[in-house]
Structure 1
Amino acid sequence: MIVVMKIGSPEAEIDRVTDELCTWGLSLERIIGKHKVVIGLVGETTDLDPLQVQECSPWIEQVLRVEEPYKRASRQYRHGEASEIVVNTPEGDVVFGEHKPLVVVAGPCSVENEEMILETAKCVKASGARFLRGGAYKPRTSPYAFQGHGESALELLAAASKASGLGIITEVMDSADLDIVAEVTDVIQVGSRNMQNFSLLKKLGAQEKPVLLKRGMAATIEDWLMAAEYILASGNSNVILCERGIRTFDRQYTRNTLDLSAIPVLRNLTHLPIMIDPSHGTGWSSYVPSMAKAAIAAGCDSLMIEVHPNPPKALSDGSQSLTPEAFDGLMKELLVVSKVMGKL
C-alpha cells in the first residue's frame, strides 16, 4: 500500500503521518519524488482500510494498494516515477535511469592477467565506456573450465580502475566473498545462476553497494522481479536489472534468446533501471552490434558488452567478445541511436 501526499505538503505533516502509521505496526519507506512524497507501507496491509489511512491527514491525496507481489520493485510503489541509481566512480557519479544518458559497461568475461585487463580498460574508456566489467570469480557449467583467478583478479581490477578512471562491475558468487568483492567493485553483479540464491540476495540487501541483478536462464519476469524484491526488502534500494538472454529450444545458432521484449514490459512494471547484455544474449560477436542498437531503440538504460584484446585466445567466452577496434566502431554507431532515443 502507498500513501501519496499532496504537492506542497508540509514536512512536519509528513513526519506526523509517518509517526502515526508507524504506531500501527507497519514498516514505512519515504520516497521523495520530483513533485510529491510517497509513503510506502509494508506489512499486514490486507485488512487495512484505505479510507482509515486517508483520514490520518487532509494532506493525503490518495491511498493505493500495490497489487503485484513484488511491492517495492513495482512501478506503482513509486507512484509511476522511475528510480535513478547513482554510482560513485573514480571520475565522479554515474547515474543509471530511464531519463538519464545511456551507460555502457565493457570488458572481458574474465580477468586473465594484468597486461590484458589494463589494456582493455584503457581501450574501452577511450571509446566511451563508463564501467569496466571483468570476472574474478567465474561460475562455469563445467568444473574443468577456467573458474577465474579470485582475489588476485580483484587486485588487478582495482589497478585497472585506478589507471583508467572507470568504475568496476564484477560478480560475487558466494556470500563468504561479499566483503572482499565490495571493497573493490562499484557495482556488485549477481549472475544468472545466483538470481534465486535468496540468502545471498538478503546479504546484498543489507549492504550499501548498488547491485546488478542478471535474469536467470529460465526465469520468468515475475521470478526476476521477486528476486529483486529480496534485495529491496532487505534495505538496499539500488538495484539494476540486466537481461542477458534466456534458455529456449534453439541453441544451435545463438547461445541464448535475448528477450528484448522484456524492456517495455519491465518499463511498465517496475521503476528499476534496465541493462541489456547482448554478448551473453547471443553468444556471437557478429550479432552483438545489431542487438545492442535494437536494445537502445527498445528503451534500455544501459548496455554490457564483452571486449577482449584477442578474443580467439580468451580463457572464457571469446566467441562473443568484440575486439577493442570493433567496440570503438560500435560505440560510434550507438551514439547515433542514443541521440534519436534521447539517451545522450
Structure 2
Amino acid sequence: MIIVIKPGNEAMVHEISQRFANKADVFTHGNRVAIQGADRDCLSAEELAATQEIIENHPAAIQGSRVFHPEDTVIETAHSLIGGDNFTMMAGPCSVESLAHVRKMAAVAKQGGATVLRGGAFKPRTSPYSFQGLGEPGLKFLRQAADEFGMDVLTEVMDEDHVEMVGKYTDIFQIGARNMQNFSLLKAVGKTNIPVMLKRGMSATVDDILNAAEYIAAGGNEQIMIAERGIRTFDNKYTRNTLDVGSVPVLQKLSHYPVIVDPSHAAGHTEFVTREALAGVAIGASGLVVEIHDDPAHAFSDGAQALKPDEFQAMADKAFAIRSLVKPNQKAEVNA
C-alpha cells in the first residue's frame, strides 16, 4: 500500500512510518509512505483524514516504481550528473591492462566528452582460462588515471567480499549481467552509499531487473542506474546479444532510475557499436557506456567490440549532436 498524504500534513508521513516500523517494511518519499503488506483498514480515522490517495495496486518493486517515486532520480558524483535531463558519456577499456594504457584511454575518453572512466579490474569470464583482471593493482591504476583527468570511476564488483575493497577506489559500482540476481551482492552494495550501475541479465525480463534493483534500494541505497546491454535471443550469430532499445522507454515509464545503454556488449562487433549507441541516444537513454581500445587486436579482453580512439570520437560527436535534437523524455503517465 502507498499512502499519499495531503499537502500541509507532512508530519503525518513520519507518524505513520513510525507506527508501522516494527510491523512491516516501511519506506517514505516526500509525501508518500509505502507499507508492504498493509491495506487501508490498518489506518486510523485521523490518518485517513490526512490522506489524499491510497494506492493498493502497485508493482512489487515498490521503491523503484514511479507510483511511489514520481520524479526522476538524478545521481550526483564528483564529475557527473546522471539521470533526469542529463546525458552522461562513460568510456574506457574492457580491462585495466596497465597504468600507462588506462591513462592513455582516459585521455581518449575525456576528449570524447566522457565524465566517467570505465574499466575492469575483476573480470567474470566465460572461460576460466581467460584474463581475469589485475585485481587491486588494477583498481589503483584506474583511480589514478581518473583523478588525473578529472573523471569518475566505474568498475565491476563481483562478490560481496570485494565490496569494501572496491569501494575504496570506485565512484560507481558496476554489477555485471551475470551477477544481476546475485542477491547477496545486491544486498551488500545496498548497504553502501556508493551509486550502482545494475546491468540487465542476459535473459532477464523488465520485471526481473526492476526486482533486482529493489534489493539494492531495500538496503537503503537509492542511487541506482539500470544498464541495457543486450539480451540473449535465438540468434547470436551476427551480434553478441540483441540490444533491446524498446526496454529504455519501458524502464523509464515504470521506474525513476536513469537508464544507460551499453552498445559494446550488445553488438559484440566494432562495426555495429556506433549505430547501436546512436539508437540508444535517439530513444532517450540517460547515457552510454562504451568500450575503447587503441589496439583492439591485442586487447586483454573483448577487443572485438572496442572502438578505436578515432571511432569513439566520431561516435561521441554524433551522440551529443543527436542528444541536442532529442527533447528530454516525457514520461508516460503510470496507472496505479
Count of residues in correspondence between the two structures: 329
Structure 1 residues 81 and 50, CA gap change in structure 2 (3 angstroms): farther
Counterparts of 1:50 and 1:300, CA distance in 2:
41
Deviation at 1:14, TM superposition (A): 3.8
Q: Which moved more, 1:133-142 or 1:202-211?
A: 202-211
> Which residue is 1:29 aligned to?
27
Counterparts of 1:189-228 in structure 2, within 5 Å, are 189-228=174-213
The unaligned stretches of length 5 or more in structure 1 are none
Structure 1 residues 101 and 174, CA gap change in structure 2 (3 angstroms): same
Deviation at 1:113, TM superposition (A): 0.8
Q: Percent identity?
A: 39
Deviation at 1:30, TM superposition (A): 2.2
The answer on 1:39 being equivalent to 2:29 is no
Counterparts of 1:176-195 in structure 2, within 5 Å, are 176-195=161-180
Q: Which moved more, 1:157-166 or 1:68-77?
A: 68-77
The answer on 1:156 being equivalent to 2:141 is yes
> Which residue is 2:40 aligned to?
49
Structure 1 residues 50 and 62, CA gap change in structure 2 (3 angstroms): farther
Q: Over the residues paired in the alignment, what is the CA RMSD in angstroms?
A: 1.9
Aligned-partner SS, 2:285: coil
> Which residue is 2:221 aligned to?
236
Q: TM-score w.r.t. structure 2 length? A: 0.92
Preserved CA contact (<8 Å) 1:50 1:64: no
Structure 1 residues 53 and 243, CA gap change in structure 2 (3 angstroms): farther
> Which residue is 1:304 aligned to?
289
Deviation at 1:50, TM superposition (A): 5.9
Preserved CA contact (<8 Å) 2:177 2:199: yes
Deviation at 1:15, TM superposition (A): 3.3
Deviation at 1:16, TM superposition (A): 3.5
Aligned-partner SS, 1:77: coil
> Which residue is 1:111 aligned to?
96
1:186-234 residue CA offsets vs partner (Å, 9 max, x unmatched): 0000001111111111111111111111011111111111111111112
The answer on 1:280 being equivalent to 2:265 is yes
Q: TM-score w.r.t. structure 1 length? A: 0.90
- Which of the residues 78, 81, 96 maps onto 2:82? 96
> Which residue is 1:69 aligned to?
60
The amino acid of 2:2's aligned partner reads I
Preserved CA contact (<8 Å) 2:5 2:51: yes
The answer on 1:175 being equivalent to 2:160 is yes
The amino acid of 1:85's aligned partner reads I
The unaligned stretches of length 5 or more in structure 2 are 330-336
Structure 1 residues 15 and 197, CA gap change in structure 2 (3 angstroms): closer
The answer on 1:265 being equivalent to 2:264 is no
The amino acid of 1:4's aligned partner reads V
Structure 1 residues 49 and 39, CA gap change in structure 2 (3 angstroms): closer
- Which of the residues 59, 73, 81 maps onto 1:83? 73
The amino acid of 2:253's aligned partner reads N
The amino acid of 1:84's aligned partner reads V
